[in-house]
Structure 1
Amino acid sequence: MVSAETTPVTVDFLSRFTSSDQFEKVFREGMSLVEETANYLDGPGRQDARMLDRHGAVAYATESMRLTTRLMQLASWLLLQRAIGAGEMSQEEARKEKHRISLTDIGRGNPLSGSEQLPAGLLDIVERSLSLHQRVLKLDVMLNMQAKAEATEQSSPVNSQIDRLAAVLKVGRA
C-alpha cells in the first residue's frame, strides 16, 4: 500500500480570474467607460443638456447621476477584486469593504418624464454601463458562490472528521 501525504487542493477562482485576460478586459472596459463618461459629461454633454427643455434637463440630470453612481460602484468592485487578486488585500479585509459596494441598486431605474429628449451620446453610455453592470453582477454571484462553497467545505463536520482520521492514520486527503 502506497501512502503519500497530500493536502486538499482548492482552486482559487478569484485569483485565477483576476489574473485572467477576461478580467483585464472587463477591468479596462469599466475604467475606460468611467473616463469616457467624465469626458462626455464635462464636454459634449454640457452642450447637449443646454438644448433640453425643463423636463428634459431634469431627466438628463437624473440619468447622469444614475450613470455616475453606477460607474463608481462598478469601478469600486473592479478595483476591490484587483486588489484581492494582487494580494494587496486579504479576503477578510475585502469582506469588510464589500458592504460599501452596492451592485443591486444601480440598475436602470424608473422611467423619467422627458427621457425621450435625452441625447444619443448619453443613452449610448448608459446602455453600455448597464451591459457592464449585468456582467459584473454575474461575476459577483459566481465569486460569492465560490466563497460560500469554500466556507461550507471548511466548516463541514464530515470534513472535520475526515481530517481528524487522516491525522490519526497519518495519511492525507486527496
Structure 2
Amino acid sequence: MNEVSREAAKTVRLAERRLHSDSFKPLYNEGMALVERTAEYLDGRGRAAAKGLSRPAATLYAAESMRLTTRLMQVASWLLLQRAFNSGEMTRDQVASEKSKVRLDTPSAHQETLGWTELPDEFRELVDLSLRLQARVRRMDEEIYGQTTEQTLNRRGNPVSDQILLLKTAFGRG
C-alpha cells in the first residue's frame, strides 16, 4: 500500500468514526427537526402567507418551496442511510451504493431574485437553515466517501424515481 492510500484509509476511518460517534446524533436530530418544522410551516403558516404575495413573489415562493422540500428530502435520506449504517442494518458498501442516488446539491434562488424580499421571513430562514445543513452534510459525505460535488453533478438518472427507491430501501420496503 503506497503512502497516499494509507493516508486516504486513515481519513476515511476518522470521518467514519465521527459518523459512529455521539456527534452524529445532533446532526441527525437537527436535520429531522428541520424537515418536520418545514413541513409544518409549508402546510400551515406558509400556505396562508403565500396567498398574500405578489405574482412574482408567489411564483418564486412556489419554486423555492419545491427546492426546499427536495433539498430536505435528500438530506433526510442521507441521514437515514447513515443511521442505518450506525445501527448495523446496512454495510458501508450498501450505504455507499444507495447514497449515490442522493443529491446534496439542490440550489436556491439568489437573494437578488425578483420577489425574494417579499417572501415571509420564516420561509427565508428555513431556506437558509436548509442550505447550511445541506452544506454540512455534503462536507461530511465528501470526507467519508470521497465523492466531490462535481462528480455528483455529472450523474444521470431520474432524481424523483431514485429518491422514492432510496426512501423505500431506507425504510425496508424495497
- Compute the TM-score of the two structures, normalised by the length of structure 2: 0.71
1:122 counterpart residue number: 123
Q: Name the SS for the 1:107 alignment partner.
A: coil
1:67 counterpart residue number: 68
Aligned pairs (5 A) from 1:1-174? 12-13=13-14, 16-104=17-105, 106-109=106-109, 112-145=113-146
**Are the aligned partners of 2:57 and 2:116 in contact in 1 as well (CA < 8 Å)?**
yes
Report how many residues are paired: 137
CA distance in 1: counterparts of 2:100 and 2:145, whole angstroms: 13
User: Mean Cα displacement is larger for which, 46-55 or 89-98?
Assistant: 89-98
1:160 counterpart residue number: none
CA distance in 2: counterparts of 1:15 and 1:83, whole angstroms: 13
CA distance in 1: counterparts of 2:127 and 2:40, whole angstroms: 14
1:73-92 per-position Cα deviation (integer Å, ceiling 9, x unaligned) = 00001111111121100122
- Compute the TM-score of the two structures, normalised by the length of structure 1: 0.71
CA distance in 2: counterparts of 1:18 and 1:88, whole angstroms: 15
CA distance in 2: counterparts of 1:79 and 1:135, whole angstroms: 15
**Are the aligned partners of 1:107 and 1:133 in contact in 2 as well (CA < 8 Å)?**
no
**Are the aligned partners of 2:57 and 2:118 in contact in 1 as well (CA < 8 Å)?**
yes
Of structures 1 and 2, the larger Rg is shown by 1
Unmatched segments (≥5 aa) in structure 2: 1-9, 148-174
Identity of aligned residues (%): 46
Amino acid at match of 2:142: V
What RMSD in Å do the two structures reach over aligned CA positions? 2.1
